[in-house]
DNA sequence: CACAAGTTTCAATAATTATTGAAACTTGTG
DNA sequence: CACAAGTTTCAATAATTATTGAAACTTGTG
């Protein structure tokens, strides 16, 4: 450890642990596994790249779990592989730009949830029916409303994903609000 | 059943069942119990109010489950109680206006997740530290970025919740995009 | 090609979360 | 107050989801 291995450091370590815990809890209430969120948090607050081994140790999780979680985070685009010449071991760094992080999360969830749902809704709405039947009309109206909502959400999310840093933090925050 | 108990009706019933299934699947990937989503879907596509008994039957779930789920949906504001004079039994209707539904969902999730997270972040960010320490500075910068993101999200969600029907569907969709 | 140093896979298991259903409760009525 | 007709609670259990860890795999090197 550095020469600054004093009270401050201990507090910092604790704060990071708390952050990792917080991220884990938040993650699980959004339908993401606790470990996934925690590995992400750990890498977010790590100054340098960590190996699978490091992750296992710091979060006391198994090798298999660490491996699969890291793979999934790579897939979301939330972390990057860092290869060191002459070393076989792989290291991982988190994307630290929160705008990018947001984009990755929106992109992944949109693909997995919204796009999938839109397809199902289209299929259901295509169902033929007797327009004279009030029950059919009501059902169809509900479907159409939900489709409409899905389209608006899609557009909003797409817009947010394309947002430039300046637009996002300035224009958006100041003009739009 | 009505005189129109023919092929069309069967198809409609099936379509509704499919919709309920779709809603259930979508719900569970967003961290909401399948049953909650399904009861909501069932009431959304029901022309008239249903009792706990009806819900139990149609979704083949237990009385306890139906009771608790209905309670939770009332709590989210997604369904209403309908009392019939002279009857003890309670009936439930879903809020059918999808803009309202969206508001309810945003409000509930914002309260449960975002507001809670903001509080934890504030606490963590308040942690004193040595500004000369690069590690501390990095950690603090990450926290601040996330707080910033939380604030922007909060504002966006609040704005969406206040949205008027016309604004939401017209201005939002056409001007903002 | 044998080996070392790692990574990945996946069946078994643990942990978590949702559901049941019976008992307790509530409430209006004769 | 006894009863009927409902609702709610909650411990037990079922279902689902996450995690482990050992075996299989991969890849670079002498």
For strand D, give the nucleotides within 7 A of a protein CB: 5-11, 17-23, 27-29
Q: Which stretch of DSSP H or E encloses residue A79? A: strand A79-83
At A75, list the tokens.
């897939």
Q: How far apart are alpha carbons A124 and A118 in whole angstroms?
A: 10
Residue nearest to nucleotide D5 (CA to C1'): B88
- pLDDT at site B163: 78
Among A18-22, A33-37, A69-73, A157-161, the minimum mean pLDDT is found in A157-161
- The whole-number Å distance from B55's CA to D2's C1' is 31
| Closest-approach residue (CA) in chain B for A122 | B19
**For residue A170, pLDDT beyond 80:** no
Residue B111: closest CA among B147, B79, B64, B157: B157
**For residue A24, pLDDT beyond 60:** yes
Return the closest nucleotide (C1') to the Cα of A51: C6
Residues whose CB falls within 7 A of nucleic chain C? Answer: A 28, 51-53, 63-64, 67-68, 70-71, 87-90; B 33-36, 60-65, 68-69, 86, 88
Structure-model confidence comparison of residues B99 and A10, the more confident one: B99
Assess contact for B73 and B35: CB atoms under 8 A: no
Helices (H), A32-133: 34-44, 52-59, 63-76, 98-109, 116-125
- pLDDT at site A76: 96
Averaged pLDDT for residues A93-105: 95
**For residue A148, pLDDT beyond 50:** yes
Tokens 């439930």 found at: B92
Q: How far apart are alpha carbons A131 and A1 in whole angstroms?
A: 74
**End-to-end Cα separation, chain B, in angstroms:** 46
Tokens 């993101």 found at: B149
| Closest-approach residue (CA) in chain A for B31 | A31
Count how many Cα atoms sit within 13 Å of the Cα of residue A53 in the half-sphere of its side chain. 4
- pLDDT at site B130: 82
The confidence band for A95, taking pLDDT boundaries of 50, 70 and 90, is very high
Can you name the residues that pair with B92 across neighbouring β-strands? B50, B81
Is B135 in Cβ contact with A155 (below 8 Å)? no
Whole-structure pTM value: 0.90
In the sheet that holds B79-83, the strands lie side by side as B50-51, B90-94, B79-83
Q: How far apart are alpha carbons B19 and A141 in whole angstroms?
A: 13
Select the residue from A1, A156, A164, A169 to test the B interface by mutation, using most B Cβ atoms within 10 A. Answer: A156
Q: How many residues does chain A have?
A: 177
Percent share of chain A, pLDDT over 70: 88
Residue nearest to nucleotide C5 (CA to C1'): A88
- pLDDT at site A1: 44
Helices A134-162, A116-125: crossing angle, 10 deg rounding: 150
Return the closest nucleotide (C1') to the Cα of A71: C8
- The whole-number Å distance from A41's CA to D22's C1' is 29
Nearest-by-Cβ selection for A136 from B12, B26, B176: B12
Is A133 in Cβ contact with B4 (below 8 Å)? yes
- pLDDT at site B86: 87
**Count of beta carbons in the 10 Å neighbourhood of residue B6:** 11
List chain B pLDDT tens, one digit each, 177 residues. Answer: 444 455 666 689 999 999 999 999 999 988 899 999 999 999 999 999 999 999 999 999 999 999 999 999 999 999 999 999 889 999 999 999 999 999 999 999 999 899 999 999 999 998 888 888 999 999 999 999 999 999 989 988 888 888 777 666 665 656 555
- The whole-number Å distance from A67's CA to C2's C1' is 27
Q: How far apart are alpha carbons B86 and B144 in whole angstroms?
A: 58
């Amino acid at each position: 450890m550095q020469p600054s291995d004093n009270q401050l450091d201990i507090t910092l370590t604790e704060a990071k642990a708390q952050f990792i815990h917080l991220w884990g809890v938040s993650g699980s209430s959004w339908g993401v596994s606790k470990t996934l969120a925690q590995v992400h948090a750990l890498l977010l607050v790590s100054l340098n790249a960590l190996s699978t081994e490091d992750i296992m140790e710091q979060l006391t999780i198994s090798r298999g779990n660490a491996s699969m979680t890291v793979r999934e985070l790579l897939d979301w685009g939330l972390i990057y592989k860092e290869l060191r010449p002459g070393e076989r071991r792989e290291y991982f760094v988190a994307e630290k730009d929160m705008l990018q992080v947001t984009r990755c999360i929106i992109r992944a969830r949109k693909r997995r949830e919204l796009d999938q749902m839109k397809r199902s809704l289209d299929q259901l709405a295509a169902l033929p029916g007797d327009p004279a039947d009030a029950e059919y009309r009501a059902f169809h109206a509900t479907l159409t409303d939900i489709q409409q909502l899905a389209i608006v959400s899609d557009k909003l999310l797409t817009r947010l994903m394309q947002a430039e840093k300046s637009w996002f933090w300035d224009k958006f925050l100041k003009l739009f609000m």
